[in-house]
């Protein structure tokens, strides 16, 4: 009976984390947890309630009133705030453009990290984000740091947007991604950084299947 591992996948926007994490979790019969969705949900709720992304105390108050629920049984992990489904709403550009400011606050992170650690407590989980290998699960059995060039990531996001009918120009997306990379990597609390014991996977010229195969190889070595 193989161990129920904790698999941490970190990296910048559109590196392919969630796509690959979902496939790997399904194959292993593990739970998949998208921690970015938590920061996005709080950002969405803040914008709805007129709390600015800079207002740390206001955000912490809001977190207390916010019942966050994930439905991992569906192919697309559904997200609910106080029983309202926000799965689509938390991917909209205004949320994307404010989420790095919201997630930079230490008190906000403290609360959400606690929740993430609770979800991962029994193992058998693939969790993706920015600080999983460094702060949320520093003793995870498998750590992956997934990267790709900014231009490749911008093109991937552009394609995704086009399918959803979001018409932001490619150059704008590239600029926004670079800006978010910068904010996430330079914040004082739990910045986006490769853990010392994480495997680096560059997906720039890899297919999704290629990335999955690579990660399975890494996991096999830890089992
Ligand atoms: O899907 P995408 O790669 O655009 O981003 P995401 O994974 O949904 O994360 C959105 C934002 O949440 C990131 O840009 C970070 O600012 C923040 N985040 C974080 O600070 N820590 C995490 N563990 C996950 C996300
Ligand atoms: O979760 P993260 O923001 O890191 O990225 P994602 O949402 O999993 O992937 C962003 C987009 O890139 C998706 O549309 C994937 O289908 C695509 N992708 C790709 O084209 N090639 C890969 N090797 C990985 C992802």
Catalogue the E-assigned strands of the chain: 6-10, 31-34, 68-71, 78-81, 84-85, 125-129, 142-147, 199-202
Residue 103 in tokens: 């997630």
> Which pLDDT score is estimated for 50?
97
Cα of 187 from ligand 2 centre, angstroms? 24
Residue with the two structure tokens 């979902």: 22
Phi first, then psi, for residue 156 (nearest 5°) are -60, -45
Q: How far apart are the first and last CA of the chain?
A: 10
Question: Residue 1 above 60 pLDDT?
Answer: no
User: Is the pLDDT reported for residue 65 higher than 70?
Assistant: yes
Binding site per annotation, positions for ATP: 11-19
Q: Which ligand is nearest to the CA of 23?
A: 2
pLDDT digits (tens, 9 = 90+) for 46-59: 999 999 999 999 99
Looking from the CA of residue 19, the nearest atom of ligand 2 is: 8
Give 160's DSSP letter: H
In angstroms, what is the span from residue 1 Cα to ligand 1's centroid?
Answer: 34
Q: How far is the CA of 44 from the centre of ligand 1 (A)?
A: 13
Which pLDDT tens digit goes with each residue over 88-141?
999 998 999 999 999 999 999 999 999 999 999 999 999 999 999 999 999 999
| Of 98, 204, 109, 81, nearest in space to 150 by CA | 204
Neighbours of 99 (CB within 10 A): 24
The 8-class DSSP code of residue 91 comes to G
Distance 149 CA to ligand 2 centre (A): 12
Length of the chain: 223
Query: At 72, is the pLDDT very low, low, confident or very high (cuts 50, 70, 90)?
Result: low
To test the ligand 2 pocket, which listed residue (14, 26, 147, 206) has its Cβ within 8 A of the most ligand atoms? 14
Query: What is the pLDDT, as a whole number, of residue 75?
Result: 67
Which is more confidently placed, 152 or 76? 152
Instruction: List pLDDT tens digits, range 145-190.
Output: 999 999 999 999 999 999 988 899 999 999 999 999 999 999 999 9
| Residue closest by Cα to atom 10 of ligand 1 | 36
What are the tens digits of pLDDT across the range 126-136?
999 999 999 99
Place of tokens 């994490």: 21
């Amino acid at each position: 009976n193989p161990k129920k591992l904790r698999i941490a996948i970190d990296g910048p926007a559109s590196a392919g984390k969630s796509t690959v994490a979902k496939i790997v979790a399904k194959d292993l019969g593990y739970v998949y947890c998208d921690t970015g969705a938590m920061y996005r949900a709080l950002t969405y709720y803040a914008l709805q309630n007129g709390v600015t992304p800079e207002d740390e105390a206001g955000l912490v108050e809001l977190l207390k009133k916010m019942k966050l629920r994930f439905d991992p049984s569906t192919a697309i992990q559904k997200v609910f705030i106080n029983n309202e489904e926000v799965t689509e709403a938390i991917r909209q550009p205004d949320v994307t453009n404010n989420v790095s400011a919201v997630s930079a606050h230490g008190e906000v992170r403290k609360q959400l990290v606690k929740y993430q650690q609770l979800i991962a407590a029994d193992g058998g989980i693939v969790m993706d984000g920015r600080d999983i290998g460094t702060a949320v699960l520093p003793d995870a059995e498998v750590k992956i740091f997934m990267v790709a060039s900014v231009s490749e990531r911008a093109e991937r996001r552009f394609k995704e947007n086009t399918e959803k009918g979001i018409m932001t120009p490619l150059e704008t997306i590239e600029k926004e991604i670079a800006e978010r990379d910068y904010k996430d990597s330079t914040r004082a609390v739990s910045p986006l950084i490769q853990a010392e014991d994480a495997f680096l996977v560059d997906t720039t010229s890899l297919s999704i299947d290629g990335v999955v195969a690579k990660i399975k190889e890494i996991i096999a070595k830890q089992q």
